[in-house]
Each structure stands twice: as C-alpha cells, then as structure tokens.
C-alpha cells in the first residue's frame, strides 16, 4: 500500500519523501548499532533490546523473511538485528544458481553496509560435519565421534576426541568464496553474530562410561559432579577450537575482530528444579551453574510453549516461570565472561498445518478451550520474558519454510514490544537502570533436587496477586491468572517501581498486586500486558504507554 500511494505523488514529493525515509532509517540504524555494540556493563546501563528471527527467507515459501524485507522494516522505524542465512557451499550454490545467491545477498548486504548495521549469520550446528564423511570413517583413535567400549563409532561428537579436527571443520564454514563475497560487499560491520542451531547429537555426561576414551582416562565409578565437570571441560576446549577455526577462516580483519559465536540453548538450565531428572540435562558442577559462558560468546535459550510438552503461557509449567531460574545464572555468566551476549528465542509452538497433524500446537489447544489466541496475547507473553531478563535480542523461531504473510503479525508483536522500550522515556530508563524485585515471601515452585550451593539464590519474581492460587506450593498444571513483576529505582522514601502485568486468558479488572517491601496496588490487566509506574513519594499509580 505504501508503494502505491507514493507512486501517485508528484516527483518532487516522492524525492522529499524518500529523503525523509533515508534520514529516519539512518537514525534507527544508528540506534541499532549503538545498542548492539554497547557493553553489558556500560555506564548508562543495560543495552536496549533488538528483534530478530531464525527463519531467513531462503525458500520461496518463506521469502518474506529475507533480508530485503527486514531492511524495509528498519526503514519504517523498527529496531531489528538483521539476519542472513549462512552462505551456501559450492555444491549448494551449484543447485541454487548464482543469480539466486546474488538476489538474496548482494543488495541487502550492500544496503546494510551503507547503514553500518550489525549482522547475524544464521547457521546449522557446525560440528555436524564431524559426524559425516570423511570424519565418521576415520579409525577409532582419530575419530572425533564417540567410540564405545567395544570399539564401535557412534554418530555423536565426543568431548574426549581429537581437538584439531574441530578447528579444521570450523575453518570450512568460513574460508569459502561465498562468505568472502559477503565480506567484500560489507568489509567493516560493527558486529557479526554467527548463530548456531547447536542441536547436534553429543555424548551426555550421564553416559560418559559408554565412552572408551573416558574410561581409559578416568576409570569407572566417579561421581556425577566429576562427570559433569570433565565433560564440560571437554566441550569448552572443543567448541572454542571450532570457533577459532571459523574466525581464522574469515578474510576480513574487521569480521575476525567483531565476530561473536552464539549457540541456541547455550545457557541455563532454565528447567532447574521442575522435576527430579533435570540434572541429566545440565552440566552444572561445584562453583559453576553452566559452562556455556566459557564455551560460547553468547547464548539463546528457548522461551517456548512447545507443541510436544504441556508448557503453556497460563500455567505453572510455563516459560515465564522457568525463565525466573535464569536471573542468577545471568549474573554468574557475566562474572565468567563479562562480554557474554545474552538473547533468547521465542516460539508459541505453532509451525504450520502439516505439523499440527502430529503435534497440535498450544494455539490450537487454547482455542479448543474457548480461549482467544492472537498477536496481542503473544506479545504480552513475550513482553514478560523480556522485562524479566532484559536480553540483548529477542529472536523468534519459525520453520525455514514458514510463510511470512502468516507469521508477520506475530513477529510484529515482538518488534513492537522492542520498539516500545526504545520510544518510551520511562521504559527506557527502567530498562537501563532498574533492578528486578525478588518476591522473598515465596519460593520458586520448582524445588526438586536444588543443589545446596544455589538454594539461597533469588529465583521467584512473580508478584503476589489476588487472582492467583493462594495455596502453596503450586502444582505444575495449575493455572496462573496474572503474571506480574516489578523493577525498582531509587531509595526509600523516594522509590519508583515499574510494574508489568499480563493476564493471558482474558482482561481482568481490579487485580490486587503486592510490591515486596512496599504495599498493595490495584490494577487492570490484559492479555497484551500493561505497564504501571508506582511513585512512593507522590503515592501515585499511573499507566505507562
């Protein structure tokens, strides 16, 4: 519609309108660049968030997610972190054709260079090459995969195998003609994030004694903490070797210097305490909740309502409550790696009608209960997560062929939540300087097997609400009517709080929320979420747009 309207304008108005767009795009790009490169410990406070995505628009069905369309959204004033698919191999380029490669990459990359925008290069799990030919056929002593006690090689990488092959494989991903073209078109980006799907099969710590190498080095009978630690140390060495190879393969000095390597789920465990078996899916050990900040430059844990488990946006088993576990883990991550890039990935469990046949999505299940599910509710759900942890970026997931025309209204709910922070003086101030308020009147309801070392950490930030269950502890299937949290600034008696509340299922009037160490306030809530500014000195509660 915008293009049609402009085509009807006189030539001089078209020119002036284009100049205005160009000027606005530059201002937005300047802000994106400033926040993407701001340090975690910047004196002004936390970097403001950016919106991004996993679906890169390489397939004809999903072309609307391609970089050319992202840049149009930036020109319209949205604060996005642009994302490109990792360039194709020579074999892939041969199938796709050079014209398709140039159409997807050249003009958007050059436009990103004009605006000096940061970039994300979205890839697969890079180490997967180690479980393919020629590496999978190497003799057991030289094979980077798990070698079992009886000498068989499994297609899963091993934390005790040869390190040099990880470096070699890393270089293959970046030392190639296609990536060199990108660097030639944009030689000096302020930041390049290489994003890994990080889902390749690897040896689990509780199966360490199935590895011949582990037994030869450590023997049988070591305790769980020991196994988790040595497996983690093995991964730290190998994943850093992989990333070194990728960095060394880059042709541009600026790309080498400004590259960050970020892994999906390279953070956590957000499921800590939810059930007794959670330690099997964790690499915590004495003194360290996670090795991720030493393995990676950044992590993107999943804030998902899955279609394969009962996590929902309105129950105790929810991303909102699981992510409360991550608050203390983020502080620890920054101690281990002050420059650690923390973002998170978002999904509502819907990935199109074909998958619905096997896994009905939460969207479908909500509607079967008579609940509305729309972008507003999705935005309210996402907004709780971003204000809980204040990430560098929020990255939505959809499948690689998901059509943009169907997904864009939901993605724009994320973009608008991010834009809101940039555009509101109140929200921007609290994002940068506010302190998340713990609710120490309650414990987190996930308490299974919490190690003594972390029992004293604040893990509960939900404000007490009059409409939520009043019996404690809560069970996983119980419904949570209102999710709310508070950030505080200043000292008594002149404190201010930013309160955020969303009620996923329906609007609620006159909800009583208790701000710890202050008093109860009465607010209205909605699925889209509502902000309230509470002023102690003035005794005032007012809405924030």
Place of tokens 């619905």: 356
Residues 443 and 428 in one domain: no
More confident: 7 or 127: 127
Q: Which helix (H) or strand (E) holds 420?
A: helix 404-423
pLDDT digits (tens, 9 = 90+) for 279-322: 999 999 999 999 999 999 999 999 999 999 999 999 999 999 99
Residues 361 and 443 both lie in one domain? no
Residue 527 above 80 pLDDT? yes
Which residues are CB-neighbours of 413 under 8 A, at least 6 positions away?
A: 375, 376, 378, 379, 382
Question: Which residues, at least 6 apart from 360, have a Cβ–Cβ distance to it below 8 Å?
Answer: 307
Comparing 200 with 12, the larger pLDDT belongs to 200
Over range 402-428, report the average pLDDT: 97
Residue 454 lies in a domain: yes
The number of domains in the chain is 2
- Containing structural domain, residue 514: 435-544
What are the contacts of 202-210 at 24+ separation with CB within 8 A? 202/127, 202/156, 202/157, 202/158, 202/159, 202/235, 203/146, 203/156, 203/157, 203/158, 203/159, 203/231, 204/280, 205/231, 205/232, 205/280, 205/283, 206/280, 210/146, 210/148, 210/149
Tell me: pLDDT of 334 over 60.
Answer: yes
Query: Phi, psi at residue 393, to the nearest 5°?
Result: -150, 155
- Within 8 A by CB and 6+ apart from 190, the residues are 33, 36, 37, 116, 117, 118, 258
Lowest mean pLDDT among 90-94, 141-145, 343-347: 90-94
Q: What pLDDT score was predicted for residue 3?
A: 30
Task: Looking at the structure, tell me whether residues 397 and 348 fall in a common domain.
Answer: yes
**Cα 249 off chain centre by:** 26
What mean pLDDT comes out for the span 149-158?
Answer: 97
- Please provide the DSSP assignment of 437-505 as one string: PP-TTS--S--TT--GGGTTS----PPEETTS--SSSPPTT-B-S-EEEEEEES-TTS-EEEEEEE-SS
pLDDT tier for residue 65 given thresholds of 50, 70 and 90: very high
How much of the chain, in percent, has pLDDT values that exceed 90? 93
Residues 347 and 423 in one domain: yes
Return d(Cα 286, Cα 266) in angstroms, integer.
19
Residue 304, in any domain of the structure = yes
pTM score of the predicted model: 0.95
Pairwise CA distance, residues 159 & 202, whole Å: 8
Q: What is the predicted pLDDT for the residue at 96?
A: 86
pLDDT value at residue 6: 31
Domain identity same for 470 and 414 = no
Percent of the chain at pLDDT > 70 equals: 96
| 32 inside domain | yes
Is the predicted pLDDT of residue 215 greater than 60, yes or no? yes
Q: Which of 92, 14, 81, 13 is nearest to 47 (CA)?
A: 81
User: Pick from 433, 452, 487: which residue ends a domain?
Assistant: 433
CA distances from 300 to 168, 279, 331, 381 (A): 25, 20, 16, 17
Instruction: State the pLDDT at residue 505.
Output: 98
| Token code pair at residue 545 | 């747009």
Average pLDDT over residues 373-378: 97
Q: 479 and 504 in one domain? A: yes
Predicted confidence band at 91 (pLDDT cuts at 50, 70, 90)? confident
Residues 481 and 418 in one domain: no
Is the separation of the CB atoms in 213 and 158 below 8 Å?
yes
**325 and 455 both lie in a single domain:** no
Report yes or no on 152 lying in a domain: no
d(CA 479, CA 324): 17
Q: Could you tell me how many residues make up the chain?
A: 545
Integer Cα distance of 473 and 111 in angstroms: 54
Model pLDDT, residue 22: 61
Q: What is the mean pLDDT of residues 50-78?
A: 97
Please report, for residues 19, 243, 411, the alpha-carbon distance to residue 23 in angstroms, rounded to integers and kept in the order given: 6, 37, 25
Residues 310-323: pLDDT tens digits? Answer: 999 999 999 999 99
Domain boundary among 414, 433, 452: 433
Mean pLDDT value across residues 234-258: 98
Same domain? 528 vs 389 = no
Q: 376-411, pLDDT tens digit by residue?
A: 999 999 999 999 999 999 999 999 999 999 999 999
Mean pLDDT value across the chain: 95
> Is 424 found in the same domain as 450?
no
Q: Could you tell me if 302 and 349 lie in one domain?
A: yes
pLDDT digits (tens, 9 = 90+) for 502-526: 999 999 999 999 999 999 999 999 9
CATH number of the domain enclosing 93? 3.20.20
Give a yes or no: residue 364 inside a domain: yes
Check whether 429 has a pLDDT greater than 80: yes
Binned at pLDDT 50, 70 and 90, residue 21 comes out as low
In a domain, 337, yes or no: yes
Question: Based on the number of CB atoms within 10 Å of its own CB, is 20 exposed (0-12), middle (13-18) or buried (19 or more)?
Answer: exposed
Any domain includes 242:
yes
Final residue in a domain of this structure, among 433, 459, 479: 433
d(CA 319, CA 527): 16
User: Closest Cα to residue 482, out of 305, 314, 310, 311?
Assistant: 314
Decide if 469 is inside a domain: yes
One domain, residues 358 and 505: no
| Cα 524 off chain centre by | 30
């Amino acid at each position: 519609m915008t293009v049609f309207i402009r085509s009807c304008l006189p030539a001089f108005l078209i020119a002036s309108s284009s100049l205005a767009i160009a000027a606005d795009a530059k201002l937005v790009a300047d802000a994106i660049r400033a926040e993407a490169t701001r340090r975690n410990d910047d004196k002004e406070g936390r970097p403001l968030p950016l919106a991004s995505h996993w679906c890169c628009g390489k397939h004809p069905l999903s072309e609307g997610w391609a970089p050319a369309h992202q840049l149009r959204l930036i020109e319209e004033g949205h604060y996005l972190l642009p994302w490109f698919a990792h360039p194709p191999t020579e074999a892939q380029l041969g199938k796709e054709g050079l014209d398709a490669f140039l159409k997807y990459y050249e003009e958007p990359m050059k436009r990103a260079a004009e605006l000096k925008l940061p970039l994300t290069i979205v890839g697969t799990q890079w180490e997967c090459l180690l479980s393919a030919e020629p590496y999978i056929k190497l003799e057991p002593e030289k094979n980077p995969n798990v070698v079992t006690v009886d000498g068989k090689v499994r297609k899963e990488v091993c934390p005790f195998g040869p390190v040099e092959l990880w470096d070699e494989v890393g270089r293959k991903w970046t030392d190639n003609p296609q990536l060199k073209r990108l660097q030639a078109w944009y030689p000096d980006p302020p930041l390049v994030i290489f994003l890994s799907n990080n889902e390749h099969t690897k040896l689990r710590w509780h199966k360490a004694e199935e590895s011949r190498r582990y037994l030869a080095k450590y023997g049988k009978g070591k305790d769980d903490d020991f196994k988790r630690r040595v497996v983690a140390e093995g991964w730290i060495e190998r994943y850093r070797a992989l990333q070194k190879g990728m960095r060394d393969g880059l042709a541009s000095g600026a790309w080498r210097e400004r590259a960050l390597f970020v892994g999906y789920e390279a953070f956590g465990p957000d499921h800590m305490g939810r059930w007794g078996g959670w330690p099997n899916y964790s690499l915590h050990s004495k003194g360290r909740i996670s090795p991720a900040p030493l393995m990676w430059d950044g992590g993107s844990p999943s804030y998902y309502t899955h279609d394969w488990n009962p996590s929902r946006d309105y129950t105790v088993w929810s991303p909102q409550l699981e992510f409360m576990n991550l608050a203390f883990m983020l502080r620890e991550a920054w101690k281990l790696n002050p420059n650690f890039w923390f973002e998170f990935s978002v999904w509502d469990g819907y990935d199109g009608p074909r998958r619905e046949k096997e896994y009905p999505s939460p969207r479908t299940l909500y509607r079967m209960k008579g609940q509305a599910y729309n972008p507003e509710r999705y935005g309210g759900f996402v907004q709780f997560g971003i204000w809980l942890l204040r990430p560098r970026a929020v990255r939505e997931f959809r499948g690689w062929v998901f059509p943009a025309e169907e997904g864009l209204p939901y993605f724009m709910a994320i973009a608008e939540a991010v834009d809101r922070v940039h555009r509101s003086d109140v929200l921007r101030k609290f994002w940068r300087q506010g302190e998340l308020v713990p609710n120490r009147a309650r414990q987190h309801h996930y308490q299974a097997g919490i190690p003594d070392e972390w029992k004293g950490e604040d893990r509960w930030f939900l404000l007490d609400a009059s409409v939520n269950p009043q019996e404690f502890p809560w069970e996983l299937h119980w419904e949570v009517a209102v999710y709310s949290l508070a950030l505080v600034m200043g000292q008594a008696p002149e404190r201010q709080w930013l309160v955020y509340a969303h009620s996923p299922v329906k609007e609620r009037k006159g909800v009583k929320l208790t701000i710890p160490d202050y008093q109860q306030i009465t607010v209205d809530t909605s699925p889209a979420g509502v902000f309230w500014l509470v002023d102690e000195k003035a005794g005032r509660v007012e809405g924030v747009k």
